[in-house]
Structure 1
Amino acid sequence: MRMVEVRADDDLLLTRVYRDVLLAYFPSNELESYDELRSGLEKDLRLVTAIVDEDSLPVAAAVGDWSPESGVLLLAYLAVRAEARCSGLGSLLMEEVSGGWQRRLRPLLTLAELEHPLAHQGDEVYGDPVARLRFYARCGGRALDVPYFQPSLGSGMDRVYGMLLVMLSGSADVGGRSGATIRPGPIQEFMQRYFLDTEGTVPSDRPARQMWQAMERPGGIPLLPLTDVRRLPLSALG
């Protein structure tokens, strides 16, 4: 096994990462298109790191979305093929996210989107949200106390409610290294751009209002341990 950085001009490997790792292990409403993935790479707004086997076939991959305006890096996808799970490959990818990606981009914040275990059921294909939460807790992740939902990623695609926004790392400038809260400014700018890029507007419906209001706390956005699922914020359509 070896780790490689996937480039936009490596059509074969990028296609295999998308088809065999991402498309196979993420629900359709949570996954952007192949064209969007490649376009982000071409614009230097996306990182794709893969672990390949002796035949150069991808068995695991991590995808990051970079927002230079806000200084926020989003770990959008991390997946390991079913036959290679529990072999440490996810941890190897997380080491790259917390190491090589940080040195390359110097983000203010590194975030991840995770399914809330109280809103999403696990299965053999997409994995177990409870186990996934434990994995990110071991990696030092903490949830933002914000009822987050993933925007619609394209025409005809539904939003994904019942999601968590998890901080994997944060600079001292936003209070993320050891504090109990983080400064909301970068999060707000990132989220506004995220919705503009995906839904074409900054939404103001009820779930969106609840999310924006939770980001406007004068003392900062609280960070919550991932170990107590019932304390974690839960968004819902309504």
Structure 2
Amino acid sequence: MEPVAPTNISRRGPNGIVFVDCSDVDDGVFDRTYRDVLQPAFRPAELDTLDAMRTAFRTPFPGRFGTIALRSGEPVAAALAEYDAASEVLLLGYLAVRSDQRGRGTGSALLSDSLPRWRENARPVAVLAEVEDPRCYEAGPYGDPAARLRMYERVGWRLLPVPYFQPALGQGLPRVRGLLLIGHALDGAAVPGAHLVRFLDRYLAECEGPEAVRSDAEYLALRKRIESWPGEVPLWPMSRLSEVPLARHG
């Protein structure tokens, strides 16, 4: 494939990288991004299907934002986010760098390109992301959770001190525990609690149904922790990781 030339829809990054919005690439590039960048970086229970992602990010679907980093025309990294207008929360659902390109600053450069544009477009009250907790996962084929957390810390992300889990993304898939919920601290040192609860209620209901929001013990423990702070949930420095409670099943 020929290298992508800079145009009004692409942006130059470091080390010969070009950043392009998902809606400005063809299906072939998007499919290779899924296969070569996202699939190797996320466990099956953490990753939506290719069809679902193509529908959401190639169209583009309202409230969906996606950037692909290309080198010589081939995808080497991707960042995908979803804005929930009802809660005014933007979730960075996926950030991944191809395994042979890690450790070169590509991920932080991708966030530096994408986050300001997404913020300007959506005007969220908070920007969140889900990441593996290095207390629960060791470095392996899906990457190094400790190194990933250090990268997020360098570009301004902080911990939400809550026992977080990712809802089951599809029928037959498990919840994903051993995750941290982190927030981008550009706009302050806390996340509005009511907005956070509204976002998580909607996230869980969409994935697992409204009954889980009303009666699931694990989720109610998460909600109770959030509501224990009056008004806002603080964002902690990464150095306080050991104090963040883990989600407990049952």
TM-score calculated relative to the size of structure 2: 0.86
Q: How much has 1:8 moved relative to structure 2?
A: 7.8
In the alignment, structure 1 residue 230 sits paired with structure 2 residue 242? yes
Structure 2 equivalent of residue 91 of structure 1: 108
- Match status 1:71 vs 2:82: no
Match of 1:174 in 2: none
Deviation above 3 Å: which 4+ runs of structure 1? none
The answer on 1:133 being equivalent to 2:144 is no
CA offsets 1:81-134 (integer angstroms, 9 cap, x no match)? 1111111111111102331211222111100101111122221x2111111111
- Name the structure 1 match of 2:8: none
| Equivalent runs, 1:1-238 vs 2, <5 Å | 1-7=17-23, 10-41=26-57, 42=59, 43-54=61-72, 56-123=73-140, 125-169=141-185, 171=187, 177=188, 179=189, 181-203=190-212, 204-217=215-228, 218-238=230-250
Instruction: Count the aligned residue pairs.
Output: 229
Please state how far the C-alpha of 1:5 moved relative to its aligned partner. 0.5
Tell me, which stretches of 5 or more residues in structure 1 are unaligned? 172-176
SS at match of 2:23: coil
Distance 1:170 1:71, change over 3 A: farther
Q: Residue 166 of structure 2 contacts residue 175 of structure 2 at CA under 8 Å; is this kept in 1?
A: yes
Q: Is the 8 A contact 2:125 2:192 kept in 1?
A: no
Gaps of 5+ in 2: 1-16
SS of the counterpart of 1:44? coil
Provide the aligned C-alpha RMSD in A.
1.7
Shift of 1:195: 1.1
For residues 178-222 of structure 1, the C-alpha deviation after alignment (integer angstroms, 9 at most, x for no partner) is x4x432111111111111221122523221111010121224322
Q: How far is 1:170 from its partner?
A: 5.8
The answer to whether the 8 A contact 2:193-2:231 is kept is no
TM-score by length of 1: 0.90
